Amino acid sequence: MWVIVGLGNPGRRYAKTRHNIGFVVADNLAERYGIELRTKELYAAGKGSMEGNKIVLVEPLTFMNRSGLAVRDVMKRHGVEAGNLIVIHDDIDMETGTLKIRKKGSSGGHKGIESIIQETGTSEFIRVKIGIGREEGVLVEDYVLGKFRKEEIPLIKDAIAGAADAVDMILRDGVDKAMNTFN
């Protein structure tokens, strides 16, 4: 079994912000595979099958900085080890619309990833990172909680589809092949 987590913040206020790109990809996967996400206390989640693998698709409702609480709960509940965890999230240090897959690593300053590392006790899980760019002179918090500009929308739509395709390939062909294809 795999746990696939899209990171974001709950609520309408954050729905179309840069920081919620993980939720958008998770929603894309849910639609693609007919998985219904049901709200629990800490997260929205749904079970299904993707590329011949049983999966739990998750959107933490704990706000970004406490995402680890939800991830730890789901992993423990389903007996899933970190090697079968895929986390989809934004990355401010990558150009808007770019994708990168990593097998493991530090948080890179991302508070959601930092929380997951802290709560699970490991950094050895797969990340599908989507570049959201950066804007000089704008505070990071304000930027990530802002909406995409009109000219960024086509790049982000392509990145959302690409990230969903990357998750498919990780499950079907392994992380190394996905890294060679998408990085």
Q: Which active-site residues does the annotation give?
A: 19
Of 28, 29, 31, the C-alpha closest to 2 is 29
Of 55, 59, 83, the C-alpha closest to 10 is 59
DSSP codes, 129-156: EEE----TTS-HHHHHTSBPPGGGHHHH
Q: Please enumerate in sequence order all residues whose Cβ is within 8 A of that of 167, keeping only pairs 6 or more positions apart, or say none.
A: 4, 25, 29, 50, 86, 88, 128
Q: State the DSSP code for 3.
A: E
Q: State the DSSP code for 122.
A: -
**Two structure tokens written together for 183:** 């990085």
Question: CA 53, 129, 63, 104: dihedral to nearest 10 degrees?
Answer: 70
Distances from the Cα of 63 to the Cαs of 69, 137, 183, in angstroms? 10, 25, 28
